Structure 1
Amino acid sequence: MTNKPGEARESSELAQLHREAKEREHFIEQIIELTPVVINVLDLVTNRDIYTSRDVATLIGYTHDEVEQMKDRVSTLWHPDDVPRRREHLARWQTLADGEIFEFQFRVRHRDGRWRWLETRLMPFSRSEQGDVRQVVTATLDVTARKQAEEALRASEERFRRYFDLGLIGMAITSPDKGWIEVNDEICEILGYDRSELLGMTWAELTHPDDLPADVAHFERVMAGELDGYSMDKRWIREDGQVIDTTISVTCLRREDSTIDCFVALLQDITARKRAEEALAKSHVELEQRVVERTKQLTTVNEELRNEIAERQRAQEKLRRSEAYLADAQRIAHVGNWAWNIASGQVLWSLETFRIFGLDPDSFNPTAENTRSLIHPEDRAFTEQVFDNAVAERSNFEAFYRIVRPDGSIRHAQGIGHPVVNEFGDLIEFVGIVIDVTERKRAEMESQALKDALAAELAAMTRLHDFSIRLLASTELKPLLEEVLNAIIALQNADFGNIQLYNRDNGALEIVVQRGFQKAPCNSGNACS
């Protein structure tokens, strides 16, 4: 039996069409398997999958067959909070036009028990004879990592915003062209400008002219990629013309291509501290001047005493220079921030806080108990009482205490805290800052020691001056010379000494008064020391 030519040609064309359809189907399947999403065709009438790509197991941990065998896969897999929204989605799907895409996110429980965030995009695939959407095609992607990153970023931004708005320290966000992008109330208070005025200016316009070159030099090094931030002391000119002293710390935020997006600046007003340092320096100068004046009155006593006074003055100058160097070191401010959640007990520290305590962020967990162990034993009861009162009264607190670092070194710290309450007035957490004030404490103690030493020396010199006046007016020299010798020994911090007179008749030095030893008179054959 033979086929007619027309039938053979038609059969060949059908075979060709079948092969092409198979090839297209294979091509589509290969593309689906290569994409990082799960493709699915869902029948809305039967609520069953018509087609699911093989990657579904990597998405939720269950195979397609295991999912199909579930009695109610939505209640089994979906998060309870997301199930009601699915009913709303089903109603919305029925109204989709051909080619219209609907997108939503939901959570499912993975086989390992963890919740995973999925994102699905779907569109109509087929309709009933009445035109209702019968089947939809979906593309689903695991977005858990992205959601976690978004949540971490949101929490980080929320913490930053909280510190920014609290006003514990001046904070600002500035642009690469030196403009103010955002400022908190404390910055406005320090600089004396309204926020609207400040945002229309640059920080260079407000910087003291003598400090601007150094600030710009640091800024340009950051812009060039040599640094990521810098700290310095600088002066500002307030809106009322007043010059104020501050310590600033600046850090840049870079984009993925390393260009600078913005700067974050911390600013602390240290004008009062500066003025106190200047007043202290002035008092030192006045005290030194008084010492010089007293010294001039003693130059008639003897050359040895004048040499001693000159040596003492050189020692005082060394102390003054040492204090100046220490004052320079005080200007380097270290400020860290922290947060303590009352309910969970979770404590968060910034990197600078770890540095102040001398700890490694990767190996130390800053719990409340661990933090307590770092405070000097003599200061723990006091700091606990201050903090307990602040918790009970929901009030700000400030405390000065000592820190014992892991290497045994002791640092002085200033802690400032602020309570955070919810809309019902419940205490949620405390946030605050810690400032390393070790250098300031050391400077204060050394300054007091210097004052005490200078006062003691001035008293001794005054005694010597009084002795010299009495010596010139007295006919009884020995009692006065004994007092002079005792004063000189005390001033020199010596154990013994004597006063000798030269005898012109025999060419010998004769001891007039002595204390602490016996020694033969000096003559031409007997050396004296």
Structure 2
Amino acid sequence: MNKIKKLASEALQRGDFDFALQEVARGETDVSRLIEDLKIYHAELEIQNEELLENQAFTEKAMRRFSGLFAALPVPALVIDEVGVIHECNAIAEQRFALGRKQLRSHYFPRLLPKKEHGRLRELLQIARNEDCASQAGIELKTADEQQFIADMHVSSLPELIENNAYHFVVLMVDQTAVVKQHVLLEESRRHFQAYFDSAPVGMAAISADKQWLEVNDKLCDLFGYSRDALIKLTWVDLTHPSGLDAELEQFNDILTGKLEGYALDKRCIRGDGEIIDVHVIKQGVRDASGQLDYIVVIIEDISARKQAELALMERDRALENQSLSLRERIKELKAIYAISRASQLMSDQDAFFADVLRLLPMGMYYTDDVSVSIDLASKIYGNNSFSATMDKLESDIQVDAQVVGKISVGYRKPRILPNNKPFLDEEKQLIEGIAELIGLFLTRIRSQQAQELTSQRNAALLSLTRQATKMDEQSLLRFALEHAETLTDSHIAYVHFVNSDQNTISFGVWSGKTLQNCTAVHIIITR
């Protein structure tokens, strides 16, 4: 039997598939040989049958692998013919198209696409027929319930399934709906940002790590007074006023090294026409996925008007503060003036009055605890007159009846610079002049009172003298008059003498009791 198979195999290899029949037809063989040839022919058929079985097993195995792979694909997959009829589908396709397996198989695939996509599908199948595979991105599809989605479609021909020149194709669909939606959102966001960037009310730009402008908007060009082309050729350093450059460079370098993500500051910049403007700057680094700096976003706002408003507000606050300070000082001065004025009107004791002046006057000064006061009268000095040669002081004359009778001096023991950048406030000078005037009024009143008292005493003495004239002898009356005169004039000696007839000598007539106590001189000779 093995020999027969060997002969059959050799005959198959020679291509003599019907050599036995050929010999019978020629009448060149006998029956025994014919039987032998039939056996060989039968062996040939068995060999062919074995090869067919092997091929069938291989094909079935390949189909099983294909079916397993097809079913396990993580994306919707279909097998369609060139007309578009679906012959096979996987479970993912059933879910995506919302159709059962029986419904989806034998379904007309173009019905799952909007009409506008039919032409692209035909073109895709034609390319796959000619080139074995083809792909098309962004094809719209729809489910059985009319829900649309977008997918990238990959088509491969299956030549082993060609029947009567009818091609079959594997169609894979990668759902890109979320990606497309994200792209749409990103594009919409980009358009919105670009619109905001172009029409922003502040200057906006992107700069590189080497300080060059990458992109600028119109507002920034207007802000610095340059055309777009001219501004792009400059760096932000060229526009920064030197006074603030070093501080900003340090922060900018911190963005480059990653120490800072961004910073914000106020600074001065120089426009194209040389004008210096105040701006508020915000810089924020933008980094790529690896953490490397990609570019820096810059927002620049012109705050010159705000700075001017702040300056005006500061000036107003300073003026209000000065007014408040002035008001407080005026209140202090008024209190001191009022207290001293009251004392000048009510007090009669000079020493007590000046003690009050020395106590009350510092209350009206700016630095109340550091005031030195001196009141210098012809008869007496009140207060501390130890002013140093370098000590700043205020002085004012004290006048009585338009005559200078003294002066008042006021100063601070420590060097002081007051809010007006002077040693004293102008109002402090006025305060000292006012107090000097009050002292003059006080002295005038005291002198007037003393004069009135003296007149009253004189009148009383004259009245008493008149009353005693009839009761006393001449010498007693003279002594009585001398003692009254002594008292009225606050004198210590009082006497009456007579010039003798020789006009060269005198004779004492009468003298007071104090005269004998206070005078030891002898007055005898006189000269005309």
- Closer, same or farther in 2 for the Cα pair 1:307/1:234, shift >3 Å? closer
TM-score by length of 1: 0.51
- Structure 1 distance, partners of 2:365, 2:75, is 94
The superposition leaves residues 102-147 of structure 1 with CA deviations (integer Å, 9 ceiling, x where unpaired) of 4142334446875332221225555999x99854432211111111
Pairs within 5 Å for 1:132-143 = 134-143=167-176
Distance 2:160 2:125 in 1: 12
Q: 1 CA distance for matches of 2:97 and 2:298?
A: 45
Asked if 1:472 corresponds to 2:413, the answer is: no
Q: CA offset at residue 166 of structure 1?
A: 0.9
What is the 5 A alignment of 1:141-290? 141-281=174-314
1:185 aligned partner, one-letter code: D
Equivalent of 1:83, from 115, 125, 136?
A: 115
- Shift, 1:160, TM fit: 0.6
Contact 2:75–2:173 (Cα < 8 Å) also in 1: yes
1:304 aligns with 2:305: no
- Higher RCO (C-alpha 8 Å, min separation 6): 1
Q: What is the rounded CA distance, in whole Å, between the counterparts of 1:69 and 1:144 in structure 2?
A: 26
**Is the partner of 2:183 in helix, strand or coil?**
helix
Inter-partner Cα distance in structure 1 for 2:224 and 2:90: 63
1:65 correspondence with 2:29? no
Q: Write the distance in 1 (CA, Å) between the matches of 2:226 and 2:369.
A: 52
Any idea what the Cα deviations from partners look like across 1:210-261, whole Å, max 9, x if unmatched?
A: 3333333333333333443322222222222333221122223322222222
1:39 aligned residue: 77
Residue 52 of structure 1, CA deviation: 2.5
Residue 405 (structure 1) aligns with: none
Partner of 1:211: helix, strand, or coil? helix
Cα–Cα, structure 1 residues 57 and 221, in superposed 2: closer, same or farther, change >3 Å?
farther
Can you give the 5+ residue segments of structure 2 that lack an aligned partner in the other structure? 10-43, 337-357, 371-418, 420-424, 444-528
CA distances 1:6-40 after superposition (whole Å, capped 9, x unpaired): 34555544444434334433444444444433332
Uncovered stretches (5+) of structure 1, i.e. residues with no partner: 312-453, 455-460, 479-529
User: Mapping of 1:298-337 within 5 angstroms?
Assistant: 302-308=361-367
Letter in 2 for 1:145: A
Are the equivalent residues in 2 in contact too, given 1:471–1:477 (CA < 8 A)? Answer: no
Alignment partners' CA distance in 2, 1:68 and 1:126 = 20
- CA distance in 1 between counterparts of 2:165 and 2:138 reads 24
Query: How many matched pairs?
Result: 324
1:119 aligns with 2:152: yes
Match of 2:5? 4
- Cα deviation 1:445-504 (Å, max 9, x = unaligned): xxxxxxxxx9xxxxxx988865654443355569xxxxxxxxxxxxxxxxxxxxxxxxxx
Partner of 1:54: 91
- Counterpart Cα distance in 2 of 1:24 and 1:197: 70
1:36 match: secondary structure: coil
- Distance of 2:246 and 2:266 partners within structure 1: 13
Q: Once the 2 structures are TM-superposed, how far is the Cα of residue 55 of structure 1 from its aligned partner? A: 2.3
Name the TM-score, length of structure 2 as normaliser.
0.51
Is the alpha carbon distance of 1:187 and 1:472 closer, same or farther for their aligned partners in structure 2, counting shifts above 3 Å? Answer: same
Contact in 2 for aligned 1:126/1:133 (Cα 8 Å)? no
Percent identity, please: 23
SS in 1 for 2:74: coil
Contact preservation (8 Å) 1:42, 1:49: yes
Specify the alignment match of 1:486 in structure 2. Answer: none
1:241–1:109 distance in 2 versus 1, CA, 3 Å: same
Between the aligned partners of 1:20 and 1:175, the Cα distance in structure 2 is 64
Deviation track 1:424-449 (CA, whole Å, cap 9, x = no partner) reads xxxxxxxxxxxxxxxxxxxxxxxxxx
Deviations 1:197-218 (A, max 9, x none): 2223332332333333333333
How far residue 73 of structure 1 moved from its aligned partner, in angstroms, is 6.2
Aligned to 1:375: none
Compared with structure 1, are the counterparts of its residues 223 and 462 closer, same or farther at alpha carbon in structure 2 (3 Å cutoff)? closer
- 2:286 touches 2:296 (CA, 8 Å); kept in 1? yes
- Structure 1 CA distance for aligned equivalents of residues 65 and 117 of structure 2: 35
Q: Which residue of 2 aligns with 1:323?
A: none
1:20 maps to a residue whose letter is: F
CA gap of 1:136–1:13, structure 2 versus 1, over 3 A, is closer
Q: CA deviation at 1:95?
A: 6.2
Name the CA distance, whole Å, in 1 between partners of 2:215 and 2:268: 20
| Residue 103 to residue 127, structure 1, CA distance change in 2 (3 Å) | farther
SS at 1:153 equivalent: helix
More helix by share: 2
| Aligned 1:388-467 pairs, distance under 5 A | none
Match of 1:37, as an amino acid?
V
Give the partner amino acid of 1:25: M
Match of 2:474 in 1: none
Distance 1:179 1:467, change over 3 A: closer
> Matches of 2:64 and 2:242 in 1, distance apart?
74
Question: Structure 1's 255 and 22: CA in aligned 2 closer, same or farther, altered over 3 A?
Answer: farther
Bigger Cα displacement from structure 2, 112-121 vs 197-206: 112-121
The CA distance in 2 between the partners of 1:139 and 1:30, in whole Å, is 15
Contact in 1 for aligned 2:206/2:216 (Cα 8 Å): yes
AA partner of residue 48 (structure 1): V
Deviation at 1:195, TM superposition (A): 1.0
Q: Distance in 2 between matches of 1:309 and 1:275?
A: 37
Q: Which moved more, 1:201-210 or 1:148-157?
A: 201-210
For the 8 Å contact 2:86–2:109, the answer to whether it is kept is no
Could you tell me how far apart the structure 2 residues matched to 1:148 and 1:122 are? Answer: 24
CA RMSD, 1 decimal: 4.4
* Aligned 8 A contact 1:173 1:262 in 2: yes
How big is the shift at 1:270?
A: 0.8
Q: Is the 8 A contact 1:247 1:268 kept in 2?
A: yes
Structure 1 residue identity aligned to 2:177: T
Separation in structure 2 between the aligned mates of residue 262 and residue 254 of structure 1, nearest angstrom: 7
In structure 2, C-alpha distance between the alignment counterparts of 1:58 and 1:240, rounded to whole Å: 69
Structure 1 residue 173, shift from structure 2 partner:
1.8
- Alpha carbons of structure 1 residues 10 and 211: separation in structure 2 relative to 1, 3 Å: farther
Taking the aligned partners of 1:174 and 1:310, their CA distance within structure 2 comes to 60
**Residues 22 and 74 of structure 1: is their aligned pair in 2 closer, same or farther, counting only changes over 3 Å?**
closer
User: Measured at CA, do residues 42 and 19 of structure 1 come closer, stay the same or move farther in structure 2, by a change above 3 Å?
Assistant: same
Aligned runs of 1:497-516 on 2, under 5 Å? none
